[in-house]
Amino acid sequence: MKCDIHIRLVLWLTLGIASVSMAQQDTGIVHDSLVANQQAIYNRPFIGLGATGISLGGYAEGNTNYFVEDGLTEGFSMEMRRVNLFVYSPIGKRLKYLMELEFEHGTEEIALETAQIDFKISKYLSFRSGIILPQIGIFNANHDSPVWDFVDRPLSSTMIIPSTLSEVGFGLFGNMRLGRGQVSYDFYLLNGLNAGIVLNDQGRTFIPSGKSLEMLEEDNNGLPMYNARVAWYKGGIGEVGLSYYGGVYNDFRLEGEEIAERNSISIIAIDYNTDFEKVDVKGEYVIANIEVEESLQPLYGTRQKGGFVEVDYNVLRGRIIGFDHANLFLMLRFEKVDMNVGDFKSPGIDLVDLTRYDHETSLSGGVAFRPNGRTVFKVNYRYHWIRDLVGNPAARMAGIQVGIATYF
Partner 1 sequence: MGRTAFIACIFLFLAVVACKKIMPGAPELGEIVAGPIAGLSSAQMNKHLLGDAAFARVYTPEDGLGPIFIQSSCEGCHIGDGKGHPINVVTRFGKPGPSGFDYMSGEGGAQLQPRAIDGFQGEILPGSHMFSTDRLPPLVTGLGFLAAIHDSTILNLTDSLDADGDGIKGRVNFIEPEPYTIFNPDVHLVNTQGKYIGRFGKKAKEITLQDQILFALLEDIGLTTVQEVEDLYNPQTGTLATDNVADPEIGSATVDNLLFYLRTLKAPTRRNETDPDVILGEALFEQIGCVKCHIPTITTASSDIEVLSEVVIHPYTDLLLHDMGNVLDDGFPEGGAKGSQWRTPPLWGLGLAAESQGGNMYLLHHGQASDINAVMSYHLGGEATSAATEYFELSPLEKEQVIGFLMSL
Distance in angstroms (rounded) separating the CA atoms of residues 155 and 308:
8
Query: Is residue 12 a contact point for partner 1 (CB under 8 A)?
Result: no
Query: CB within 8 A of 408, min separation 6: which ones?
Result: 45, 57, 58, 59, 60, 374
Binding to partner 1 (CB under 8 A) within 281-300 occurs at: 293, 295-296, 298-299
Q: Report the residue number, 49 or 254, with the smaller CB distance to partner 1.
A: 254
CB of 389 to partner 1, least distance (A): 8
Q: Which of 43, 237, 316, 343 binds partner 1 (CB under 8 A)?
A: 316
Query: Is residue 328 a contact point for partner 1 (CB under 8 A)?
Result: yes
Binding-site string for partner 1 from residue 13 to residue 52, where x marks contact by CB under 8 A and - marks none = ----------------------------------------
From the list 44, 22, 162, the residue with the least C-alpha distance to 100 is 44
Q: Report the residue number, 18 or 218, with the smaller CB distance to partner 1.
A: 218
Distance in angstroms (rounded) separating the CA atoms of residues 381 and 150:
9
Distance in angstroms (rounded) separating the CA atoms of residues 322 and 368:
16
Q: What is the 3-state secondary structure (H, E, C) of 120-173?
A: ECCCCCEEEEEEECCCCCCCCCCCCHHHCCCCCCCHHHHHHCCCCCCEEEEEEE
Q: Report the residue number, 66 or 272, with the smaller CB distance to partner 1.
A: 66
Query: Is residue 70 a contact point for partner 1 (CB under 8 A)?
Result: yes
Q: Report the residue number, 30 or 368, with the smaller CB distance to partner 1.
A: 368
CB of 362 to partner 1, least distance (A): 13
Binding-site string for partner 1 from residue 218 to residue 257, where x marks contact by CB under 8 A and - marks none = --------------------------------xx--x---
Binding-site string for partner 1 from residue 151 to residue 190, where x marks contact by CB under 8 A and - marks none = ----------------------------------------
C-alpha torsion angle, residues 31, 230, 160, 72 (rounded to 10): 60
Query: Is residue 77 a contact point for partner 1 (CB under 8 A)?
Result: no
Distance in angstroms (rounded) separating the CA atoms of residues 408 and 341:
42
Binding-site string for partner 1 from residue 332 to residue 371, where x marks contact by CB under 8 A and - marks none = ------------x-x-xx-x--x--x--------xx-x--
3-state secondary structure of 363: strand
Which segment (102-110, 114-122, 264-272, 317-325) binds partner 1 by CB under 8 A? 317-325
CB of 229 to partner 1, least distance (A): 30
Question: How many CB atoms are closer than 10 A to CB 230?
Answer: 15
Q: Which of 72, 107, 122, 256 binds partner 1 (CB under 8 A)?
A: 72
Burial class (CB in 10 A: 0-12, 13-18, 19+), 34: middle
From the list 148, 187, 186, 140, the residue with the least C-alpha distance to 165 is 140
Distance in angstroms (rounded) separating the CA atoms of residues 211 and 140:
14
DSSP state of 219: -
Instruction: Please report how many Cα atoms fall inside a 13 Å half-sphere around the Cα of residue 177, on the Cβ side.
Output: 3
Longest dimension (CA), the chain: 75
Q: Report the residue number, 142 or 263, with the smaller CB distance to partner 1.
A: 263
Residue numbers of the site for partner 1 (CB under 8 A)? 66, 68-73, 195-196, 199-203, 250-251, 254, 259-260, 293, 295-296, 298-299, 316, 319-321, 328, 330, 344, 346, 348-349, 351, 354, 357, 366-367, 369, 379, 381, 383, 388-393, 396-400
